[in-house]
Structure 1
Amino acid sequence: MELSRRGILGGVGAAVAVGVVGFAGAASVTDDDAAAGGTGPDNPVSGDASVGAGDDGEQGGSVPVDPDAPFEARLLRDGEDDRRLFGAGDLARVQGVITEDDEHLVYVSLGEAGVEGLRTGLEDAGATDEPERFVVSMTLDGTEVRRVELDEATVSALTDEEWGGVVTLPFGEQTVAQSVYDSLADE
């Protein structure tokens, strides 16, 4: 099974067609060692970025997600920790690392309960009314690997009943994207 990339609209933008929502913008890594591809014992974002990649730098089709992977997305309101949106246990499949232009993409699909939990979390927190007050912080083993400012288009796409639960996570560093993929992939 391959998670659809056909729906991606030219590089920038939050919501994309064919049920895929992209968390666009600059990759944010809070651990300088992680961004540099360091390999310290406490650094979950390290290793060989080419592991599992084909000649063109792309992974094959999607694989099931390890529900125990230390990956989590939290919704922050005005910079303060507000609520958990989803974790590895809410994801069904993962595909990546796919390199397009200067971004390294990892696609994830949420299970039915994960989609409902994400929608409810956004609505209950007030992100549907004031999306600009919120960011999504994604962590891998406690280290932030991605921070995304929400906007109206993204929140609308994530709460749309037609959305199928596929999210694309773009990273500026291939090693970060590979670490997220390796952690999530139950291979």
Structure 2
Amino acid sequence: MELSRRGVLGGIGSAFAIGAIGFAGATTVTDEGSLSTDAGSAPGVGPDGDGAGGSGEADSVAVDSSAPFEATLLADGDDAGTLFDAADLSRVQGVISEEREHLVYVALSETGIGAVQDRLAEAGATDEPNRFVVSMNLDGTEVRRVELDESRVTALTDDEWGGVLTLPFGQEPVAVEVYESLASE
């Protein structure tokens, strides 16, 4: 199973400075043929370092629901609750390297999609998105921060959103650590 990059929702980009890291949402998960993931520097990284078999894509695997990964909502710097954690995810794909980005794709479960949308609304992020930041933490250490804005919140709360997020990292070791933590064995 491959998490699709087709259908990336508009208005969601990525940046590399701490405090301004974006994530993108894709709308579908496809079941295309298996790609080789037996070479490379990490699971899901092919011999060219850019995804399985140099194709820029890699197969997804089930998420370990007990992984110590959490995306927390911060409102004006204060904790506003969990946006999602490993228990809300169903699949993970990565690490896919493109130019200066090292991508980890995650797919929320159906329940996870609803929970994220509810949590955004309950925290007030749908009304005042610019007050909110998402802090992504691995085993209690922040690994990325995403500033929310109207276009990101609109994309995440769209009824057509399929629950796939792209988590870009500026450093490959961080992306590999996140992927390996989330990937079920």
- Scaled to the shorter chain, the TM-score interval is 0.7 to 0.9
Structure 1, unmatched stretches of 5+, are 15-21, 30-48
Secondary structure in structure 2 of the residue aligned to 1:178 = helix
CA distance in 2, matches of 1:163, 1:150: 16
What's 1:45 paired with? none
Structure 2 residue 24 is the aligned partner of structure 1 residue 26: no
Tell me if structure 2 keeps the 8 A contact 1:27–1:147.
no
Superposed CA RMSD: 1.8
**What is the number of residues matched between the two proteins?**
158
Q: Output the CA distance in 2 between the equivalents of 1:7 and 1:163.
A: 10
The aligned counterpart of 1:151 is 149
| Alignment partner of 1:50 is 2:41 | yes
Among 151, 161, 167, the alignment partner of 2:165 is 167
1:11-160 to 2 correspondences below 5 Å:
13-14=11-12, 24-26=14-16, 28=18, 50-52=41-43, 53-57=45-49, 58-59=51-52, 60-160=58-158
Name the CA distance, whole Å, in 2 between partners of 1:27 and 1:117: 28
Gaps of 5+ in 2: 20-39, 53-57
- Using CA pairs below 8 Å that are at least 6 residues apart, which structure has the higher relative contact order? 1
1:73 and 1:98 map into 2 onto residues whose CA distance is 21
TM superposition shift of 1:157: 0.5
TM-score normalized by structure 2? 0.80
% of aligned pairs identical? 63
Per the alignment, in what secondary structure is the counterpart of residue 127 of structure 1? coil
Q: 1:51-90 CA distances to partner (integer Å, 9 max, x unpaired)?
A: 2221122253000000010000000000111111111011
Residues 99 and 8 (structure 1 numbering): CA distance in 2 closer, same or farther, change over 3 Å?
Answer: farther
Query: Secondary structure of 1:117's partner?
Result: helix
SS at match of 2:3: coil
User: Could you tell me how far 1:27 is from its partner in structure 2?
Assistant: 5.5
Q: Which runs of 4+ in 1 moved over 2 A?
A: 6-9
TM-score with structure 1 length normalisation? 0.80
Matched-pair contact (CA < 8 Å) for 2:42–2:95: no
Q: Distance in 1 between the 2:8 and 2:116 partners?
A: 21
Amino acid at match of 1:50: S
